[in-house]
A and B are shown apart, each in its own frame.
Chain A
Amino acid sequence: MSGLHEHFVLQLRLHLRNRMAMVYGCVFPLIYLAVFWVLYRHEKVPLVRHAGEWLTVGVLGGASLGLPTTLVGERERGVWRRFRLTPVALWRVVASTIAARYVIIMGAGALQLGVALAAGMPSPAHPLALWAALSVVTLAFIGLGLVIAALADTVPAVQGIGQCVFLPMLVVGGVAVPVAALPEWARQVSAFLPGRYAVDALQACVTGAGLGAARFELVALVVIGLAAGAAGAKLFRWDASQRFLTLRGKVWLVPALAAWLAVGLWAGLRGPAVPPPETAVALAPPPEPPWMKLTDADIAGLDFRVPSDGGVVAPIAAADDEPDENTTLLLDDVAAALPTWSPGLVADDAQAVRNLLCLCAVPDVVQLSGERYLPLLVLDYLSHRYPKDRLVKLLTWIALHPDDGTVLLDLNELGIPGVVGDPDQVRERAYLYALKFVMRLTGRKPPGR
Chain B
Amino acid sequence: MNAHVVVSDLAKRHGAVEAVRGVSFAITRGETFGLLGPNGAGKTTTLECLTGLREPDQGRIEIAGVDVRATPEAAKEKLGAAFAGAALPDQITPREALQLFGAFYREREEPAALLARFALTEKADARFTTLSTGQKQRLALALAFVNRPEFVVLDEPASGLDPQARHELHAHIAAMKRDGRTVLLATHDLHEAEKLCDRVAVIARGKIVAEGPPRELAAGAASFEDAFLRLVTGAGEGTGA
Contacts and interface: CB of A to CB of B under 8 A. Distances in A.
Contacts of A86: 76, 101, 104-105
A18 B87 contact: no
A433 B99 CA distance: 65
B87 A79 contact: yes
Contacts of B225: none
A218 to B, nearest CB: 35
Interface string B78-94: 00010101011111100
B88 A6 contact: no
Interface in A1-47: 2-3, 5-7, 10, 13-14, 17-18
A81 B82 CA distance: 11
A74 interface: yes
Contacts of A84: 52-53
A87 B101 CA distance: 10
B182 interface: no
A388 interface: no
Nearest to B88: A79
Given A3-B100, A85-B76, A246-B15, A14 B92 contact: yes
B109 interface: no
A88 B77 CA distance: 10
A3 B15 CA distance: 35
A440 interface: no
Given A85-B81, A86-B76, A18 B104 contact: no
Interface in A69-88: 74, 77-79, 81-82, 84-88
Interface string B46-90: 000001110000000000000000001110110001010101111
Interface band, chain A: 20 to 34
Contact of A81 (B53, B77, B101): B53
Contacts of B85: 77-78
Interface on chain A toward B: helix, strand, loop, or mixed SS?
helix
Contact of A18 (B90, B100, B103): B90
A82 B88 contact: yes
Contacts of B100: 3, 6-7, 10
B89 A77 contact: yes
Contacts of A10: 92, 96, 100
Nearest to A77: B87
A17 B87 contact: no
Measured as residues with beta carbon below 8 angstroms from the partner, the interface class of chain B is 20 to 34
B41 interface: no
B89 A79 contact: yes
A84 B72 CA distance: 11
B183 interface: no
B143 interface: yes
B101 A74 contact: no
A17 B92 CA distance: 9
Interface in A169-195: none
Contacts of B74: 87
Contacts of A6: 99-100, 103
B52 A88 contact: no
Nearest to A242: B54
Q: From B103, B106, B127, name the one whose CB has the most chain A CB atoms within 10 angstroms.
A: B103
Contact of A87 (B15, B77, B81, B99): B77
B186 to A, nearest CB: 15
A77 B92 CA distance: 13
A5 B52 CA distance: 24
Contacts of A239: 53
A178 to B, nearest CB: 39
Contacts of A2: 103-104
Contacts of B89: 14, 74, 77, 79
A16 B52 CA distance: 33
Nearest to A14: B91
B103 A3 contact: yes
A85 B103 contact: no
A7 B99 CA distance: 10
Contacts of A77: 85, 87-90
B5 to A, nearest CB: 16
B104 A87 contact: yes
Nearest to A11: B89
Nearest to A9: B100
10 contacts: A2-B103, A3-B104, A6-B103, A78-B83, A78-B87, A79-B87, A79-B89, A81-B83, A82-B87, A85-B76
Given A2-B103, A74-B89, 16 more contacts: A3-B104, A3-B105, A5-B103, A14-B91, A17-B91, A18-B90, A77-B90, A78-B87, A79-B89, A81-B83, A82-B83, A85-B52, A87-B72, A87-B74, A87-B76, A87-B106
Complex A-B, nearest 8 residue pairs according to Cβ-Cβ distance, in ascending order: A78-B87, A3-B103, A3-B104, A86-B104, A87-B76, A87-B73, A6-B103, A17-B91
Interface of A: 2-3, 5-7, 10, 13-14, 17-18, 74, 77-79, 81-82, 84-89, 239, 246
